[in-house]
Amino acid sequence: MKKLPSTLPNMLCVLTLISVIAAGALAYVNQITAGPIEENKARTLAEGINSVLGVKDAQVQDTKTVQDANGNDVILYATNQGMAVQAIDPNGFGGNLKVLVGFSEEGAIKGYTVLEHAETPGLGAKASFWFQKGEKGDIIGKNPGEKELTVSKDGGDVDAITASTITSRAFLRAVNVAFHAYAGASATDANSGASQQQKSIHN
């Protein structure tokens, strides 16, 4: 086979062909992996919701996204076993700190899991377990509607992670945001129910 002359048009043609082949290969791989990736995300979310609600078979019945005071998305997952709320605080020591929190009907925290963080390993990363039931910063059973969660250094009654006050503050802010979204949704549902009942009475 005759070798193509090393001219600019020939080189451009070869580069274009290589780019097209590479793009096609990437698109094919993406198409193959997109499904499993989404399935894995859904499975991880389902496990997280079950974990924070303390159940085994929660089924998401409705999903709603609202924005907090800073414009960050807060996602509410209404299930047949209660509600779980995903919230984020962008001011952790290493950046975003995202949590998923489960609430009882009264607004008490049933459980939580840290979905995303960029905190220092061995320090800020302790948020995943530091605030769990029986641990030093235990927030399980607390109701942020009765008293907003803050670290003891700021006058609150939650012990901060040792040497990681910034992370602790970010974590508690995210939990408080999750609660306010939950309370807002609960109030909306209650008002909607009351309006429907009143309308039914008048009819």
| pLDDT tens-digit readout, 164-184 | 999 999 999 999 999 999 999
Which tokens is 97 given?
Answer: 């700190």
Per-residue tokens: 20: 């097209």
The per-residue pLDDT of the chain, averaged, comes to 86
Q: Which helix (H) or strand (E) holds 29?
A: helix 8-53
The Cα–Cα gap between 127 and 17 comes to 50
pLDDT above 50 (res 191): yes
Contact 165, 157 (CB under 8 A): no
Sequence-separated (6 or more) residues with CB below 8 Å from residue 92 = 117, 118, 119, 124, 166, 167, 170, 171
Whole-angstrom Cα distance, residue 127 to residue 130?
Answer: 5
Q: Of the given ranges (37-41, 103-107, 110-114), which has the lowest mean pLDDT?
A: 37-41
Collect all residues with Cβ–Cβ distance below 8 Å to 7 and sequence separation of at least 6: none
Q: What is the pLDDT of residue 200?
A: 45
| Residue that wins the pLDDT comparison between 90 and 26 | 90
Give the closest residue to 97 by CA, choosing from 183, 31, 5, 161: 161
- Helices then strands, each counted (H, E), the chain: 3, 5
Strand order across the beta sheet in which 109-116 lies? 60-67, 73-79, 82-92, 95-103, 109-116
Cβ neighbours around 51 below 10 Å, total: 18
Q: Counting Cβ atoms within 10 Å, is residue 199 exposed (0-12), middle (13-18) or buried (19+)?
A: exposed
Q: For the chain, which residues make up each domain, given as ranges?
A: 49-196
Give the model's pLDDT for residue 47.
Answer: 93
